[in-house]
Chains A and B, each alone.
Chain A
Amino acid sequence: MPKYAMVIDQRRCIGCMACVVACKKENEVPPGDFRTRVVEKVEGEYPKLRMELRSELCNHCDNPPCVYNCPTGASYKNKETGMVLLKKYRCVGCKSCVAACPYDARYINEEKGFADKCTFCEHRIKEGKEPACVATCIGKSRIFGDLDDPKSAVSIALRENHAEVLLQSAGTKPRVYYIRKFGKPE
């Protein structure tokens, strides 16, 4: 069984939001909620500036606080694929997971009364497609694949670049990696 992961090559992200809309349409995300977003950060003083564009989504942690904090067993970690998923029928919408997630990756689908979040587009993976955000990523900034396959795009990207995870100190062991070397005006 594959071990899925995503690599975000931040150098290639141009903040175009194609991923955000593709995700919303693919996963019928309600208005006002998002499973992914692009954070724009600018540091420095005119004219010495530095910009960071950072796509954020569920990190599908190997040490997932949302799963540990779920009182009903709705949130679970798929042992084989590594995806953090949700059994919707077991969810009571108590928001424990929303509070526990240090990445603000979850929301409550108010209409249907359950917690929701990125699934790495599990349904598309089963059809042999890439997640919707990856498929439409204009800059090929989002890379998806199997960490157990040394020839996969994610394995290559992680081998060839220095990558980091978000909030490493939280000890969540994320499955979303960031390549973050930024251009700086010289």
Chain B
Amino acid sequence: MAVTSALPDKFLLWAEEQGMIKATYTATFCEMCFWKCGTMAKVLNGRVVKLEGNTAHPGARGKLCARGNAGAGLLYDPNRLKTPLISTGARGEGKYRKASWDEALSVVADKLNKIKQQYGPESVALFTHGTPTDHFLPLLSAYGSPNVGMPSFAQCRGPRDVGLELTFGEGIGSPERVDMVNSKVVVLFGSHLGENMHNSQVQDFAEAVGKGVKFVVIDPRYSIAAGKAHIWMPIKPSTDIALMLAWINIIISEGMYDKQYISSYANGFTELADAVKSYTPEWAARETDLPVQQIVETARLLGKNAPAVCVHPGRHVTWYGDDVQRTRCIGILMALLGTWGREGGAFFATKASFPKMAAKPFPEPGKAPLNLGGFPFAGGEGVTQAIRTATISGAPYPIKGWFVSGTNLMKSLPNQKETIEAIKKLDLLVAVDVMPFDTVMMADVILPECTYLERHDALAVGKGKSLTVSLRQPVVEPMYESKPGWWIAKELSKRLGAEEYFPWNTYEDKIKNQCSQWNVDYEQLKKVGTITIPNTATPFITVTNQPEFKTASGKIELYSKELKEKGFDPVPRYTNHQQPAPGEFRLVYGRSAVHTFSRSTNNAELSELFPENEVWVNSRKAKEMGIENNAYVVLVNQDGVKSNRIKVKATERIREDCVYMVHGYGTTSKELKNAYGKGADDQGLITRYAVDPICGGTGMRVNFVRFAKEGSNA
């Protein structure tokens, strides 16, 4: 019986049941978020009907989260970008005409070549996230610009990585190398695991909960994790450092630190002990609004259970602008408890690696990069808002072109006014993406990338306990006129005279070559999706596996000379942050387990489960203000910026001085038919941000909002 690809899933499943057609399975890895879980795609008659976790992949372990399960919803989203588009109106007006690939690529290349002639290649910046980076960062480098900015640094993990690098000489990695399953106590600072869904990490979290591991959750909101916790500490937002300094003080003064570990591996203990003496539990209790007894008891709980204690360094940590120092506190606690490199604490990545591939060196940029923004410890991912600032000011040199791939800047950067102002200064804004997100719909030229289920991407090398390599390969052919990122980059390189940096015909050729040089059986990889190189794990400190600390001193730096030399506190110090006035609430934001920022809100299966965000407010406060549960309100921030309407969740689950909402809603893109008009945009209310002077992270929990009636002009 002939079946055509237009048949709906339900018929195909029935036909399969009747034995009329047979399903095939293709291994690839997911990009519904950025954990890169191995997935097996079930295809019936050319249609992806089901996605399942790959048992061979360490990030998936045979399971997928809600988003991973809903991947076909992205593939078959009717609102996908289908053809290249060229703007016919003003920027942001959303008027476009369809264009051929040749025309669209030529327009982009012409503009890029013009910018290069007039201003130099450094005047083009790339903003990127996820696997598109593997294609467009080489393109940017080949073009001659060093100016890349990834929101994953200054708007997310940057301060954490810098804080740990300053302390231990390396970060915690992604996936985070935390050994929660073997911990006796796990401490989570605002980290709402479960709602913040990273597959294998949440599997470990649930496993630890199931095993009866004690969780200490510090969060102004009663999160899912708090609901699973032994101790929930509803801390006053912005005072986490006070709690940790008191803990450090108690652990030292009561002699609960790991003396052997500290004397073998750490520097600066005396300076640390002196610096924290004044941070008493009583003082911390006043600052944090937590009971003294609880502060003392939790410190002892950590001390008693060391070293099987995991003080989780979190992931999105750009909160108050002193975020490197907060992570330093976490690092110091880990060191004092001797948990870095110990079972139940943090483990070491495998030392095994694949050989580096030989490649033609990229041209040296003529001008110094401006994407580090003058921050002494800015990372290689760049400081997004430094590029934005330079775009607005034209100093130290003008930025005239933005290339944006896989990131929605309007939703990821604080203070949208600045983003819009910068975009106005550009000669060229190009967006490569799968969906018509807010920022995409501001671009001069839109290049439709196909989804992760339709393309090859770079091999994903995992360095957890073991070394792994995973393949992304097309499960089905690209729909519409969408194209893989690698193809777009290569085609542009031809038009920019940089094709020599893309010396292969297809990306599969490149991957095959890489596999042969890495001694990985490509045909086997195609079949199984992930190959683990056996016997490469050395996770914990033993007599023969001694840790290496790539810090300035070669030891754990409890006292950081590097920070001191650059004019920062060598030992973290507590600073007071401004608190909301009466009637105001601090705006705290977070995540839903079924969404990835603003990227999944249009997905049919996911928006069905979580169609709009809600503003959580303490029920007593709501009553005081006369606001009903489930009513719609608008929020007005300290600068008078109003949100879209948002539903009220009056709940006991949050402190009285803050409100909470899930990030990523309130899209301005009318092309996202499912998501448009739903929920409020937290980023729109984040007009103020506190920049971390150490690394450039933008603290975004420094905005205060008031409630106003829907439709009011408050």
Contact = CB atoms under 8 A, between A and B. Distances in A.
Contacts of A137: 63
B378 interface: no
Interface string B33-67: 00000000000000001111100000000111111
B507 to A, nearest CB: 28
Contacts of B64: 18, 22, 136
Interface in B140-189: none
Contact of B232 (A13, A32, A47, A139): A47
A87 interface: no
Contacts of A26: 50
B69 A136 contact: yes
B249 to A, nearest CB: 23
A183 B229 contact: yes
Interface string A4-46: 0000010111111110111011101001100000000010111
Contacts of B618: 46
Interface string A42-75: 1011110111010000000000000000000000
B9 A28 contact: yes
B228 interface: yes
A185 B291 CA distance: 14
A21 B229 CA distance: 26
Given A14-B224, A15-B593, A20-B66, A28 B13 contact: yes
Interface string B180-208: 00000000000001110101001101110
B554 interface: no
A21 B199 contact: no
Interface centre among A32, A53, A139, A186 (most CB of B within 10 A): A139
Contact of A11 (B67, B210, B593): B210
Nearest to A17: B66
B206 A140 contact: yes
Interface centre among A20, A49, A123, A183 (most CB of B within 10 A): A183
Interface residues of A, number: 39
A16 B66 contact: yes
A155 interface: no
A91 interface: no
A137 B64 CA distance: 8
B210 A51 contact: no
B608 A25 contact: no
B196 to A, nearest CB: 10
A53 B67 CA distance: 19
Contacts of B206: 12-14, 138-141
B370 interface: no
B227 interface: yes
B514 interface: no
A186 B293 CA distance: 12
Given A51-B227, A183-B227, A16 B209 contact: no
Interface centre among B64, B68, B227, B654 (most CB of A within 10 A): B227
Contacts of B231: 185-186
A21 B51 CA distance: 10
A99 interface: no
A12 B206 CA distance: 5
Given A21-B605, A25-B605, A26-B50, A14 B62 contact: no
Interface residues of B, number: 58
B69 A21 contact: yes
Contact of B69 (A18, A31, A44, A186): A18
Contact of B210 (A9, A46, A135): A9
B639 interface: no
A16 B202 contact: yes
A185 to B, nearest CB: 5
Interface string B218-234: 00001011111111101
A137 B52 CA distance: 11
A135 B62 CA distance: 7
Given A15-B593, A16-B593, A138 B63 contact: yes
Interface centre among A22, A25, A26, A28 (most CB of B within 10 A): A25
Contacts of B620: 46
Interface in B335-386: none
Given A15-B194, A42-B653, A46-B222, 13 more contacts: A11-B210, A16-B594, A18-B68, A21-B70, A22-B69, A24-B605, A28-B9, A46-B652, A46-B654, A53-B227, A140-B207, A185-B230, A186-B230
26 contacts: A9-B210, A12-B206, A12-B210, A14-B193, A14-B224, A18-B64, A20-B66, A21-B67, A21-B594, A22-B64, A25-B72, A44-B652, A46-B234, A46-B653, A47-B222, A49-B226, A49-B652, A51-B226, A53-B224, A135-B63, A138-B197, A139-B203, A183-B228, A185-B230, A185-B232, A186-B230
Interface of B: 9-10, 13, 17, 49-53, 62-70, 72, 193-195, 197, 199, 202-203, 205-207, 209-210, 215, 222, 224-232, 234, 593-594, 604-606, 608-609, 618-620, 651-655
What 6 pairs between A and B have smallest CB-CB spacing?
A: A51-B227, A139-B206, A14-B194, A21-B69, A16-B593, A17-B66
